Amino acid sequence: MTHDQDIETLIVAAHALTRVAALETANETPAAQWRTLTILRDHGALRIGELARLSRVTQPGMTRLVGQMTVHGLVAKTTDAADSRATVVEVTPLGLEALQTWLLQLTAALAPHFEDLEPAEWDALRTTAAVLTRKLDRTRTAPLADAAEAAR
């Protein structure tokens, strides 16, 4: 198997894992909401346009989602100090709590699928997660720096 095939297998397995978790938790909250809360948790406050880009949704779609999430107290909107036409969104403590609760539900739903893993397999999962986190942390900050530079 080539490295590209390994990456493809990992992507497909990750998608399957999230689908199984979503089905088993029976959580009806749109995935876009959890993705948005995670992005805001990881990146801090963002303009709606940047949030939409990172979440891979349209800006009008993100505006609607943020409106719904604001009503539920999960995010707060403010005016951008640098441009009063732009809205900045940040996750609230309630939003962080909801995200943490959802992550615990996902973990509990998936745990039975992994009960029979051997210690070496747990080590492999731990190593894979660490590598992915390291690689994604590096790429996660680059687009934001590029966007900030382009805005100047």
What is the tens place of the pLDDT at every residue in 79-101? Answer: 988 888 889 999 999 999 999 99
What is the tens place of the pLDDT at every residue in 101-131? Answer: 999 999 999 999 999 999 999 999 999 999 9
3-state secondary structure the chain: CCHHHHHHHHHHHHHHHHHHHHHHHCCCCCHHHHHHHHHHHHHCCEEHHHHHHHHCCCHHHHHHHHHHHHHCCCEEEEEECCEEEEEEEEECHHHHHHHHHHHHHHHHHHHHHHCCCCHHHHHHHHHHHHHHHHHHHHHHHHHHHHHHHHHC
Percent of the chain clearing pLDDT 90 (strictly above): 69
What is the tens place of the pLDDT at every residue in 130-147? Answer: 999 898 876 555 555 555
